[in-house]
Amino acid sequence: MNTYPASTDYFKAVQFPAQAFTLDSLQRAEFASDDLGLPTLAMGTSAVVFHAAVDKAPSALRCFVRSDASSRERYASLGEFLRSHDLKPYVTATTWIDGAIQVNEASWPVLQMEWIEGRTLDQYVGFLATGSDTAALAMLADRWREMIDVLQRAEFAHGDLQHDNVLVDQDGKLRLVDFDGVWIPPLAGEPAPTESGHQNYQHPRHNGAIAWGRWLDTFSALVIYLSLVALSKNHELWHFYNSDNLLFQEADFVSPHGTRIWEHLEALGDGEVTQLARRLAECCDPAWAASKSLEMTIEQPWWERQGQTPASGLRSAVPLHRRTGAHVSPDSSTLPKPPDLSYEAGSGPWPSMPTGNQLPGTAATSPDAVPAQPAGPAQWWEQAAQPGGQAPPPAQPAKARAVVIGIVALVLVILAIVAIVAIVASNHHQ
């Protein structure tokens, strides 16, 4: 089997889409670019992702750098499953295109997906926590629990629930990305994915010890749910965030109740947090097995607390403000939108990366993350679906910095010339 191309190989190829791609639609694609006109990209352990307008539709093009990352058969099964299970907006279809790009004298697959304008979960939670918006954090926790209930009733497991694979879009809706590790009934009996999820969200025995199956997401879903609930009680807990987690780290699961985050949760003295923390600590036991849903794991389903029965169908009517005493207005159902959500430098649509091209040797915050959308040609802003069709003006700080740097460089050159002339003159007089 041929060795898959490296990220740099794809980076070079997409600079000439008419020659690199085999499909007409991709040959006509317009790629987001930086100030130098080079395609923006983000690299992960299994793929590199580019932002492009394909037939005027904002798309993410994912090019694999490993042969074992996923397969056409897995994504075909997912597509068929989604056609019979309405999981929107949480999960949207992807298209696997065999032989779509030619690199290193061979053809390789491309995974085409919808480009989602939004913030990664940790970015959005940070926005709310630093703004002391505990009401919105409580609402976000409720929306998280609702999403997990819908997915688990549909027998869908993502396989790698973590901050970089969860987005909050501009409408305040939760969206999932990266389905390489997904489990659905048609895949039962197939070999498990080669990657087992982010260590700061997985059971300490996650490397092969936890069965790949329907309840694969229960542990990580509880980790995220407890984190959101705790932050809604005390936003200052956000100081446990380290850019690679929300509140918990892998070591916290190895020693439940034995690390600082557990001590802080206990010190809150909040009944709900205490109950959830107890459930998570029980799940950290080496003998624990993922055998039931998040709702059953919590052992106090929301419908019992409300004196209701679960709604029929896949979409259970989880109230957005179900928690007694939560600082949420009964009339409010919309999460706040951060200022300049899509266009702030360094923030990005789907999952965010530092501004600029991520080349080998540079830091990347997540697998398959995508950098911030740069200020580019007008057609990029026209794709943004702004209210009223108004396109925001391109950001200018980067250009301003470039001008200042140019002036400083020119001054340094002039000073160097003056110094050289002075030295030559001095030597001549001697």
124 and 20 fall within a common domain: no
Whether residue 108 lies inside any domain: the answer is: yes
Over its C-alpha atoms, the chain yields an Rg (Å, rounded) of: 25
233 and 246 fall within a common domain: yes
Domain boundary among 305, 322, 341: 305
Please give the full DSSP string across 222-262, using - where no structure is assigned: HHHHHHHHHHHH-GGGGGG--SS-SS--HHHHHSTTSSHHH
Give the mean model confidence (pLDDT) for residues 165-179: 92
Count of structural domains within the chain? 3
Which pLDDT value is given to residue 406? 64
Residue with tokens 């999460």: 335
Whether residue 331 lies inside any domain: the answer is: no
| Residue 298 in tokens | 């919590």
Domain boundary among 305, 326, 360: 305
Does residue 410 carry a pLDDT above 50?
yes
* Residues 277-288 pLDDT 10s: 999 999 999 889
281 and 235 fall within a common domain: yes
| Residue 222 in tokens | 């509880």
140 and 263 fall within a common domain: yes
157 and 245 fall within a common domain: yes
Q: Are strands 174-176 and 166-169 parallel, antiparallel or unpaired?
A: antiparallel
Which pLDDT value is given to residue 106? 96
Return d(Cα 297, Cα 148) in angstroms, integer: 12
Whether residue 196 lies inside any domain: the answer is: yes
Range of the domain at 402: 396-430
pTM score: 0.73
226 and 136 fall within a common domain: yes
Which pLDDT value is given to residue 193? 84
Give the mean model confidence (pLDDT) for residues 80-88: 94
Give the mean model confidence (pLDDT) for residues 36-54: 90
Return d(Cα 57, Cα 379) in angstroms, integer: 11
Instruction: Express as a percent the part of the chain with pLDDT over 70.
Output: 70
223 and 294 fall within a common domain: yes
Instruction: Express as a percent the part of the chain with pLDDT over 90.
Output: 57
Which pLDDT value is given to residue 2? 65
Band of residue 44 on the pLDDT scale cut at 50, 70, 90: confident
Whether residue 345 lies inside any domain: the answer is: no
Give the lowest-confidence range in 247-261, 317-331, 380-394.
380-394
Band of residue 302 on the pLDDT scale cut at 50, 70, 90: very low
Residue 47 bridge partners (DSSP): 64
Return d(Cα 193, Cα 208) in angstroms, integer: 10
Which pLDDT value is given to residue 411? 66
| Residue 163 in tokens | 């901050």
Give the mean model confidence (pLDDT) for residues 394-403: 45
Does residue 347 carry a pLDDT above 50?
no
* Residues 15-24 pLDDT 10s: 999 999 999 9
50 and 14 fall within a common domain: yes
Which is more confidently placed, 419 or 309? 419
Whether residue 26 lies inside any domain: the answer is: yes
Give the mean model confidence (pLDDT) for residues 108-133: 94
**Mean pLDDT, the chain, whole residue set:** 78
Band of residue 135 on the pLDDT scale cut at 50, 70, 90: very high
The enclosing domain of 267 has a CATH number of 1.10.510.10
Whether residue 330 lies inside any domain: the answer is: no
Return d(Cα 93, Cα 175) in angstroms, integer: 12
100 and 159 fall within a common domain: no
**Angle 94-99-101 (CA atoms, 0-180°, nearest 5)?**
90
Q: Measure CA 216 to chain center.
A: 19
Does residue 292 carry a pLDDT above 50?
yes
173 and 59 fall within a common domain: no
Whether residue 322 lies inside any domain: the answer is: no
Whether residue 171 lies inside any domain: the answer is: yes
Return d(Cα 383, Cα 56) in angstroms, integer: 7
360 and 211 fall within a common domain: no
| Residue 158 in tokens | 């993502």
